[in-house]
Structure 1
Amino acid sequence: MKLHLLDRSTKLSNASFSISNNCYPNFLKIWHYHPEFELVTILKSTGTRFIGDSIEQFNVGEIVLIGKNLPHMWLNDKEYFKEDSKLEAQAIAIHFNENFAGEIFFNMPEMNAIKKLFENAQYGVRFTGDLSLATKWIKNLEGLKGFDKTISFLKILNLLANHKEYKLLSSMGFVNSFKKTGRTNLAEVYEYIIKNFKERITLEDVASIACMNPTAFSRVFKRVNRKTFSEYLNEVRIGYACKLLMEEKYSISEICFESGFNNISNFNRQFKKTKNYSPTEYIKTHLGKN
């Protein structure tokens, strides 16, 4: 899963923001980033959403705002890739630059909420709760032009900026990985973790990628992430395990090994430590099962 830089600039050459209503048999399996913000509304399909180091299930109706240069990918479930599949994956994607309304526009006091929304977007923001009005406005945006289109988009941003129910997705450590930390850029380490978290990963493996000795790497990693490398890796694995639990397709023991753990007792211990629930309790709580 190589990280790709996608060029969205051509779509913004004659417009302050672009709108694409994409409908395919499945979304492209490309782990990518770009300097533009991206607002995504899922209209059809399910699967796994990768935003930075966040790994979660996605469903119809979700709205996610992604900040500039934050790696992301929507990976549909296996059923969408079968040759005889008649399933469709559809999403509306809006791309825009941070200063699309001008260098100082979002510095006005009246724009404080939207400015805060943009700051949160560096982690990825998944909006929850009732999103029917936001979805309606986003769908209607395609049919507008000129001034009305721009004003409507600002209204959408303001609506989301004042929406109280949301979740930040990626960790501070992952976001910081795209900044130089001493002599190393931790971005390659995070990319390696995302690609290989199901397999055995050692401290020596990632230290080598960062061109550091294990002791120095551990020190830098903990300073940036406020947690050890092993704690971070376990959280990524548990995030993926939660996604599998929500799908209800596998047993807990199968999910244990599919998520990169090598024994069920350690899986249960780490799950409880990270989520404050056992896997069984997590299913009961989040799926409403008794």
Structure 2
Amino acid sequence: MKLHSLDRSSLNNSSFTSKINEYPYFLKVWHYHPELELVVVLKSEGTCFIGDSIDKFESGDIVLIGKNLPHMWLNDDNYFQENSNLSAKAIAIHFRENYLGNGFFETPEMIHLLELFNRAQFGIKFLKINKRLIQEIQTMLELEGFDKSIKFLMILNQLSKHKDYKLLASHGFINSLKIAENKTLDKVQAYIFKNFNKTITLQEVAQMAHMNTSAFSRFFKRVNRKTFSRYLAEIRIGYACKLLIENKYNIGTVSYESGYPNISNFNRQFKLIMNCTPSTYVKEHIK
């Protein structure tokens, strides 16, 4: 899966873009762009890949994605079935950090918004959002010019003060994005996200990076602050957690779908990363 750079700049003489996207399912494109993106999921569910995180999304979710942070929204399998009457609908707002001019958000009155933008480099999922805020965002889409700009500032202000949220991508992943000439990492990470539930060896990704295995292993650990095997295991177990929470499959099937044909190895890796067994995880998260 290739990592795509998309152009989200405004073409309508506006400092930011905002629109409602509605499709039978979200486009399966692993991509990034220099604009921050505020996403409000109005309808649909599936898996959200942001940086190296894997998280379930559903209607009512609000996520702020930082500039140049790779991401992809993947709907559940039933959205792709023939004759499916399901659809995916979301609000997408794209804007630059300096969309109101250089220095605007560095003023004392606006510095808390700049801090919000800085946190967004990891991707922010806002939790326990009041439905009224979603209605305000929908109302903003109907406004124009000055009124729309002021409304958007007020929405950002509310999000900056919302205390219940979680950061998505890891520090190691973000640090890897800051390294110059990271096209090799883009290629490797895109390959991992496409094939994480299949057999992936250190040798094949090292070859993809045009390095010997020892050099690649040192490079990967320096950039991501974890070994390649740990990085891959965290992605697989993250996906397994998502499947377990959905409660559609038994643990054996989840093990296989996550890239672990051997359930004993799956249980061992799950406990190593989550500090509990898959069955305990299910009991704690499925009420």
TM-score (norm 2): 0.95
1:3 has 2:3 as partner: yes
Using the alignment, how far apart are the partners of 2:182 and 2:36 within structure 1?
A: 28
Q: Judging changes above 3 Å, is the alpha-carbon distance between structure 1 residues 237 and 245 closer, same or farther for their aligned structure 2 residues?
A: same
Aligned to 2:132: 133
CA contact (8 A) 1:67 1:118 kept: yes
Unaligned runs of 5+ in 2: none
Aligned to 2:282: 283
Following superposition, the deviation at residue 229 of structure 1 comes to 0.9
CA contact (8 A) 2:176 2:182 kept: no
CA contact (8 A) 1:6 1:32 kept: yes
Using the alignment, how far apart are the partners of 1:14 and 1:177 within structure 2?
A: 34
For 1:158, the aligned partner's letter is N
Using the alignment, how far apart are the partners of 2:271 and 2:231 within structure 1?
A: 15
Using the alignment, how far apart are the partners of 2:16 and 2:5 within structure 1?
A: 19
Q: Judging changes above 3 Å, is the alpha-carbon distance between structure 1 residues 166 and 232 closer, same or farther for their aligned structure 2 residues?
A: same
Following superposition, the deviation at residue 262 of structure 1 comes to 3.0
CA contact (8 A) 2:3 2:186 kept: no
Aligned to 2:202: 203
Aligned to 1:105: 104
Aligned to 2:45: 46
TM-score (norm 1): 0.94
Deviations 1:224-270 (A, max 9, x none): 22211111110000011011111111110111111011311111111
Q: Judging changes above 3 Å, is the alpha-carbon distance between structure 1 residues 167 and 146 closer, same or farther for their aligned structure 2 residues?
A: same
CA contact (8 A) 1:245 1:283 kept: yes
Deviates more, 1:277-286 or 1:178-187: 178-187
1:124 has 2:119 as partner: no
Using the alignment, how far apart are the partners of 1:208 and 1:105 within structure 2?
A: 46
Alignment of 1:158-169 (within 5 A): 158-169=157-168
For 2:123, the aligned partner's letter is G
Aligned length: 287
Following superposition, the deviation at residue 182 of structure 1 comes to 8.2
Alignment of 1:119-268 (within 5 A): 119-180=118-179, 185-268=184-267
CA contact (8 A) 1:174 1:187 kept: no
1:18 has 2:17 as partner: yes
Q: Secondary structure at the match of 1:110?
A: coil
Aligned to 2:36: 37
Unaligned runs of 5+ in 1: none
User: What RMSD over aligned residues (CA atoms) do the two structures have, in Å?
Assistant: 1.6
CA contact (8 A) 1:23 1:88 kept: yes
Following superposition, the deviation at residue 180 of structure 1 comes to 3.3
Using the alignment, how far apart are the partners of 1:79 and 1:245 within structure 2?
A: 17
Using the alignment, how far apart are the partners of 1:69 and 1:13 within structure 2?
A: 22
Following superposition, the deviation at residue 79 of structure 1 comes to 1.4
Aligned to 2:113: 114
CA contact (8 A) 2:32 2:68 kept: yes
Using the alignment, how far apart are the partners of 2:267 and 2:260 within structure 1?
A: 10
Using the alignment, how far apart are the partners of 1:186 and 1:75 within structure 2?
A: 22
Using the alignment, how far apart are the partners of 1:109 and 1:228 within structure 2?
A: 41
Using the alignment, how far apart are the partners of 1:39 and 1:133 within structure 2?
A: 16
Following superposition, the deviation at residue 13 of structure 1 comes to 5.1
Following superposition, the deviation at residue 103 of structure 1 comes to 0.6
Deviations 1:58-81 (A, max 9, x none): 111000011111111111112112
Q: Secondary structure at the match of 2:223?
A: helix
Deviations 1:139-165 (A, max 9, x none): 111111111110110111111111111
Using the alignment, how far apart are the partners of 1:79 and 1:132 within structure 2?
A: 27
CA contact (8 A) 1:179 1:185 kept: no
